[in-house]
Structures are given as C-alpha cells and as structure tokens.
Structure 1
C-alpha cells in the first residue's frame, strides 16, 4: 500500500456504494497519483499531507475534466451503443475507465473539501459542473450526480467531526492517566 493510499484510508474515505465501482479503483487512482504526490511532498515540505492531497486532487480533477471534454462525443456515443445493445442491468457495468476515474476523483475531492471545512457553495458548483459533463455518459442525470457528490461532501464534514471527537476523547483519557 502506497503512502498516498494510507493517507486516503486515514481520513476515512471509502468508495461510495452509489458508484458501483470496483474496489480496486481506489488503489488504481492512488497508484496513478503517487508519483505526483511524492514530487509535491518533496517540493513543498511546508504543506500538510491534507493540503498536498487537496492540491493533487485539484490538479487531477482539472486534467480529467479536460480529457473528458476532449473525448466527450466519443464517450457519449460509446455509452449509447452499450445502452442500446445491452439490458440496463448489464449496461450499467460498462463505463470507460476515464469516467470511473473522474467520478471517483470527484468523490474523494469533495470529501476532502468537506473534511477541511471548505466553502460548500464552491463544492456544489464543482459538483454541478461535473454532473453536467458526466450525466450523458452515465445512467444518472445531472442532479443525481450533484446530490451524490454533495452527500460525499457532508460525509467528509462528519468524518472531520468524528475524528476530532475521537482525538478529544483519547487526549482526555491520556490526561487523566498522566495525573
């Protein structure tokens, strides 16, 4: 397991069930981003791991958005052929890897934004923009995708609260033991 994957695990992120993604897709994403994470870590040692992860995901999100824009027509056409050729229960299983990667990156990115207590309206705007891009390539509409990512934002906010509560409990217990 890479240090990046350990970081993602340490913040409590898991692939949302609404994605129906292969559990290995998070491993693949972390493996793909690890070289850039290592470079960023050595280049910017003054930044925390979470700040580096946020910057890394921001850059990756932007790259994927450009890639999806460039391939949009082909990806939509491919999805239409799959949808017309297969039963809905089977067609849902076929997505281009770039679509799954972008979908997962959005979840992790907005989760981290929630955890860092960043502005919700900005996360919502990004979710709406991403939903507009991805909806024609999936079996979900823009609002379903936006709501899915917004829910992940709040899961991240809750994870931060739970981590803080746990740390307060542990530090309180340690203080009592040390007295």
Structure 2
C-alpha cells in the first residue's frame, strides 16, 4: 500500500469502494497520483495531509473532466460504431475507462470536500456540472448522477472528525426551545 492510499484510508475514503469496479478505479488513481502526492508532501510538510489530498483530487478531477470534454464527440462516434457493427448487446461490453475514472474521481473529490466541511453549494455545483457532462454518455439523468455524487459528499461529512460548530447565539436560541 502506497502513501496516497494510506492517506485516503486514514480519512475512511475507502468507504466508497462498494463494488469491484470502484476498487479498480481506486488502484488506477492511487498509482497515477502517488508520485505527485509524495512530492507535495515533501514540498509542504507542515500542511495537513487532507489539504494535500484536496489539491490532488482537484487536479485529478479537472484532468478527468477535461479529457472527457475534449473527446466527447469522438467517444460518442466510437460508441455508435460499436453499436452499428456489433449490435447493442455486444457493444455494451466495451467500457469507457475515462468516463469511469471521472465518475470515481468525482465521488472521491466530493467526499474530501464533505470530510473538510467545505461549502455545500460549491460541491453541488461541481456535482451538477459533472453530471451534465456524463449524462449523454450514460443511461442516467443528470439529476440522478448529481444525487449520487452528493451522496459521497455526505459520506465525507459523516466520517469527518471535524465538529460542526454553530454560532453561540444560535445554540442559545436552540437551548431555549428545548426546555
């Protein structure tokens, strides 16, 4: 197990590994970004590991999304050729690894955002944008994809050791209504 994988497991991000395909994408991600992670840790040893993870996942998400956007038209044409040549049943056996990686990285990226208690509206915007990009290539509606992505954001919140603080006045008001 490399240091990137260890850091991800330390924040319980492995809870996203709920099926075999996720494990494959996890392995690809960790292999691809371990060198960058170690380099960042050496360059900024005083920064929190979760912030390093956030930076790397932001980079990974941008790269995966850009790859899909730049090749979306050719991917669609290739998929159509498979369907026309092999038929619907056999064409469905071919998997778009770029799409799968973007889906996985988005889940992981939103997880870390939730784990760090980052702004929900920003996470929601990113989830929606990614869902709109992926929807034409999948059988799912953008809203369903967005909801799935946000599930990872909430898992991050659930696994976070950070205690959500409330404004003292809000706490005082709540205490008045409890009695």
* TM-score class normalised by the smaller sequence: 0.7 to 0.9
Q: Which residue of 2 aligns with 1:86?
A: 88
Q: Which residue of 1 aligns with 2:5?
A: 5
What secondary structure is seen at the aligned counterpart in 2 of 1:36?
helix
Q: Which residue of 2 aligns with 1:99?
A: 99
RMSD over aligned Cα atoms: 2.3
Partners of 1:132 and 1:158 in 2: CA distance: 26
Partners of 2:82 and 2:157 in 1: CA distance: 37
Alignment CA distance shift 1:157-1:38 (3 Å)? same
- Cα deviation code 1:75-114 (max 9, x no counterpart): 22333455662339x82x5432111111100000000100
Partners of 1:159 and 1:86 in 2: CA distance: 41
Matched positions, count = 160
* TM-score, scaled to structure 1: 0.80
Alignment CA distance shift 1:22-1:111 (3 Å)? closer
Spell out the pairing of 1:1-179 with structure 2 (5 A cutoff): 1-13=1-13, 14-15=15-16, 17=18, 21-82=21-82, 85-87=87-89, 91=92, 94-161=94-161
* TM-score, scaled to structure 2: 0.80
What secondary structure is seen at the aligned counterpart in 2 of 1:21?
helix
* Contact in 1 for aligned 2:16/2:152 (Cα 8 Å): no
> Which structure 2 residue ranges, 5 or more long, are not aligned?
164-179
Partners of 1:109 and 1:80 in 2: CA distance: 31
Shift of residue 22, structure 1, vs aligned partner: 4.9
* Contact in 2 for aligned 1:5/1:30 (Cα 8 Å): yes
Partners of 2:119 and 2:97 in 1: CA distance: 30
Partners of 1:129 and 1:148 in 2: CA distance: 13
Partners of 2:130 and 2:20 in 1: CA distance: 18
Alignment CA distance shift 1:87-1:58 (3 Å)? same
Partners of 1:82 and 1:108 in 2: CA distance: 31
What secondary structure is seen at the aligned counterpart in 2 of 1:23?
helix
